Amino acid sequence: MREYNVAILGATGAVGTRMIQQLEQSTIPTKSVKLLASSRSAGKKLKFKGKELTVEETTPDSFNGIDLVLASAGGSVSAKYLPEAVKRGAVCVDNTSHFRMDPEVPLVVPEINADRVEEHRGILSDPNCSTIQMVMALGPIYRKFGLKQVICSTYQAVSGAGQSALNELMEESQQVLNGEPVHPKILPTKGDKKHYQMAFNLLPQIDVFHDDGYTHEEWKMIHETKKILLNDMNAKDIKVTATCVRVPIRIAHGETVYFEVEDKSATADQIRDLLEKAPGVVVQDDPAHQIYPQSILAEGKRDTFVGRIRPDLENKGAFNMWVVSDNLLKGAAWNAVQIAEELVKRDLVRVPDNPYIPENK
Ligand code: NAP
Ligand code: 3JN
């Protein structure tokens, strides 16, 4: 049996630490595991399968002898190092948005479009967390009943913005309870000019605004969904729109998803049955007993939880549902490790003869 030399890029982060844990619990046979971060964390010790490993500063040569890279250190870091890793023969599963829309890069949610891994030329992308959980629920519905339109509103946990944002929420919450002033420096997004209180608040901004009034997170949800379901980021066959909102919880995004199917005979019971059989999906939908997905119950789980499935009472063939998933697991680390498992299963952890080595833009 082949064993793999694996590198985790961004190993000390909110996602990276979970990648270590998900790799430990995966079916991937590891010969060695290298933990990479910036110079800030070089020397730090983290455990893999009970063995202490030292975090190393990333350089291009960190990827010498590596077979598989799981990357989660931000877009610019992936842009700089993944081409170097591919040049050195490593297959990279990237958790950042940097390569997601590149036609040469498969964008994969294994339960929905696993076969796309066959097309890889060195780099594969993990979608955004909000997209992953939405397509986990919509994918089976699309295949059985067709989809005309999707309208999503997200309720996104603060951990999606990184460990430092999560620290800010905890600190602010304590300050508000103590009656002290708060000093926001990160949220809603590090990359913008103004910062607002997150504790006991809702912020309808995730990532920066585009000129059309949508945020970049909303843009990602629209185009990633089309690329995953229709293999074309600009496909017109399904209309998709989103409003992304940050809520003051730690982990597990919630989403209301309104969707209109092609097959007008579809019923909520049929959709519930379909999702009950869908791999990676757990239906929690019993209003009579107040059973529905909740973020605190989804934390630490790999599944995507769906409930409140009900028809639009005024529009036949349209439905509402509520979808919850751990944004750091299925939304990031677990989906990336699942892609790697799929590559291992298909013996595709090898860079092909015509590798795709994008220029560092
Ligand atoms: P985080 O908690 O801030 O962690 C960032 C990680 O990147 C740390 O390990 C950090 O190392 C490392 N890093 C930063 N600059 C680096 C550099 N120049 N060279 C090497 N390593 C560097 O952030 P996170 O929440 O884990 O997210 C990391 C990235 O994952 C995000 O930027 C995003 O692209 C992606 N992400 C994707 C999803 C998704 O929806 N699929 C969700 C969340 C995040 P140090 O300890 O040395 O600083
Ligand atoms: O905010 C969230 O809940 C998800 C954030 C994801 C994220 C955060 C910073 C940079 C991404 C992503 O995965 O799309 C990126 C990025 O890589 O662009």
Would you say residue 311 lies in a domain? yes
170 Cβ contact list (under 8 Å, min separation 6): none
* Together in a domain, 268 and 288: yes
188 Cβ contact list (under 8 Å, min separation 6): 161, 195, 196, 198, 203, 205, 206, 246
Q: Which ligand is nearest to the CA of 10?
A: 1
Question: Which residues are part of the catalytic machinery?
Answer: 129, 253
Ligand 1 contact via 38 beta carbon (within 6 Å): yes
- Protein residue whose Cα sits closest to atom 8 of ligand 2: 161
Which residues constitute the domain of residue 270?
Answer: 131-327
Would you say residue 217 lies in a domain? yes
Residue to mutate (ligand 2; options 207, 223, 255; most atoms within 8 A of CB): 207
Q: Is 296 exposed, middle or buried (0-12, 13-18, 19+ CB in 10 A)?
A: exposed
Question: Please, are residues 251 and 295 in contact by the beta-carbon 8 Å criterion?
Answer: yes
Residue to mutate (ligand 1; options 20, 69, 72, 327; most atoms within 8 A of CB): 72
CATH number, domain with residue 33: 3.40.50.720
Q: Which ligand is nearest to the CA of 80?
A: 1
pTM of the complete model: 0.98
Would you say residue 144 lies in a domain? yes
Would you say residue 353 lies in a domain? no
Residue 291 C-alpha to ligand 1 middle, in angstroms? Answer: 35
* Together in a domain, 138 and 97: no
Question: Please, are residues 268 and 141 in contact by the beta-carbon 8 Å criterion?
Answer: no
Query: Which atom of ligand 2 has the smallest separation from the CA of 189?
Result: 1
Place of tokens 């220029």: 359
Would you say residue 350 lies in a domain? no
Residue 352 C-alpha to ligand 2 middle, in angstroms? Answer: 29
Neighbours of 189 (CB within 10 A): 20
* Together in a domain, 10 and 114: yes
Residue 74 C-alpha to ligand 1 middle, in angstroms? Answer: 5
* Together in a domain, 243 and 265: yes
Q: Which ligand is nearest to the CA of 107?
A: 1
* Together in a domain, 217 and 281: yes
Ligand 1 contact via 160 beta carbon (within 6 Å): yes
Ligand 2 contact via 129 beta carbon (within 6 Å): yes
Q: What is the DSSP string of 50-73?
A: TEEEE-EE--GGGGTT-SEEEE-S
Ligand 2 contact via 335 beta carbon (within 6 Å): no
Question: Please, are residues 44 and 56 in contact by the beta-carbon 8 Å criterion?
Answer: no
Q: Which ligand is nearest to the CA of 14?
A: 1
Ligand 1 contact via 201 beta carbon (within 6 Å): no
Ligand 1 contact via 75 beta carbon (within 6 Å): yes
Q: Is 301 exposed, middle or buried (0-12, 13-18, 19+ CB in 10 A)?
A: middle
Mean pLDDT of successive 10-residue stretches along the chain, which has 361 residues: 97 96 98 98 98 98 98 98 98 98 98 98 98 99 98 98 96 98 97 97 98 98 98 97 98 99 98 98 98 98 98 98 98 98 98 91 61
Question: Please, are residues 184 and 197 in contact by the beta-carbon 8 Å criterion?
Answer: yes
The torsion angles phi and psi of 35, rounded to 5 degrees, stand at -105, 120
pLDDT for 359: 84
d(CA 263, CA 245): 31
Task: Write b or e for each residue in 304-338: b if 16 or more Cβ atoms lie within 10 A of its Cβ, otherwise e.
Answer: bbbbbbebeeeeebbbbbbbbbbbbbbbbbbbbbb
pLDDT for 25: 97
Place of tokens 């989103």: 242
Ligand 2 contact via 85 beta carbon (within 6 Å): no
Reported as half-sphere exposure (CB side, CA atoms, 13 A), residue 29 has a value of 6
Neighbours of 260 (CB within 10 A): 20
* Together in a domain, 104 and 84: yes
* Together in a domain, 140 and 213: yes
pLDDT for 361: 61
Domain count of the chain? 2
Residue to mutate (ligand 1; options 12, 128, 186, 325; most atoms within 8 A of CB): 12
Place of tokens 């294994």: 110
Would you say residue 361 lies in a domain? no
pLDDT for 191: 87
Task: Write b or e for each residue in 39-50: b if 16 or more Cβ atoms lie within 10 A of its Cβ, otherwise e.
Answer: eebeeeebebee
Ligand 2 contact via 327 beta carbon (within 6 Å): yes
* Together in a domain, 158 and 123: no
Would you say residue 354 lies in a domain? no
* Together in a domain, 295 and 165: yes
CATH number, domain with residue 251: 3.30.360.10
Residue 283 C-alpha to ligand 1 middle, in angstroms? Answer: 31
* Together in a domain, 36 and 115: yes
Residue 72 C-alpha to ligand 2 middle, in angstroms? Answer: 10
Would you say residue 67 lies in a domain? yes
Over residues 330-347, the pLDDT tens digits come to 999 999 999 999 999 999
Place of tokens 């990648």: 19
* Together in a domain, 71 and 177: no
* Together in a domain, 100 and 209: no
Ligand 2 contact via 161 beta carbon (within 6 Å): yes
To which H or E segment does residue 154 belong? Answer: strand 147-156
